[in-house]
């Protein structure tokens, strides 16, 4: 059965299982499936972007345990060398409910207050370009959690605030003409 929903290209160079997740290496980088290959999300954070005709083509994947119980994933690329990233940083958006919602919504993060990770959930009723960003109390952008086109559904996105100071932060969801901001509290 075809299992290509979310893949921008069906040419897969390699597959790696990591726990209950699957990671695929393609000519356009890496993709993650958290539901046995039913849906895929691109996870190219840390890989080089498009450089003329050169893409972050991932030809091989390997995992190596690191101290403290974590694991690194290594991506062997075509012409761009080897890239490493902790598996714990792969926090891409995950489709948590396959039903189509009636309206746009942004939920309060959970847990809140948090240290150092929290989960943000949101719903979109139609295919939309979605942007989810975190800002500090002065309105400066801290990180972009998501910036891509998504199909209708309910999603959750984890944010790891490791290395940031305690305080009030804000997260903002923009999807089509919808925009909403909520407050969260990081406590160390």
Please confirm whether the linkage preceding 120 is cis (ω < 30° from 0): no
Average pLDDT value for residue range 146-150: 82
More confident residue, 96 or 65: 65
At 61, list the tokens: 């994947």
Residue 82's H or E segment, with its range, is strand 82-86
Section 37-58 average pLDDT: 70
User: What global pTM score does this model have?
Assistant: 0.53
The continuous run of DSSP H or E covering 180 comes out as: strand 178-186
57/145 Cα distance (integer angstroms): 23
Banded pLDDT at 108 (limits 50, 70, 90): very high
Q: Name the nearest CA neighbour of 99 among 55, 141, 46, 153.
A: 153
């Amino acid at each position: 059965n075809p299992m290509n929903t979310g893949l921008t290209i069906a040419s897969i160079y390699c597959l790696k299982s990591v726990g209950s997740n699957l990671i695929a290496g393609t000519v356009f980088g890496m993709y993650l499936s958290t539901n046995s290959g039913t849906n895929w999300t691109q996870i190219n954070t840390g890989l080089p972007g498009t450089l003329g005709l050169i893409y972050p083509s991932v030809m091989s994947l390997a995992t190596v345990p690191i101290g403290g119980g974590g694991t690194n994933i290594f991506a062997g690329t075509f012409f761009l060398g080897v890239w490493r990233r902790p598996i714990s940083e792969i926090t891409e958006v995950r489709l948590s409910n396959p039903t189509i919602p009636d309206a746009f919504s942004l939920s309060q993060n959970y847990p809140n207050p948090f240290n150092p990770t929290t989960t943000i959930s949101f719903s979109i009723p139609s295919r939309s370009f979605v942007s989810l960003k975190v800002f500090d109390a002065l309105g400066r952008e801290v990180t972009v959690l998501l910036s891509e086109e998504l199909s209708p559904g309910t999603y959750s996105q984890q944010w790891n605030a490791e290395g940031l100071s305690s305080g009030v932060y804000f997260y903002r969801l923009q999807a089509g003409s919808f925009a909403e901001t909520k407050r969260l509290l990081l406590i160390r």
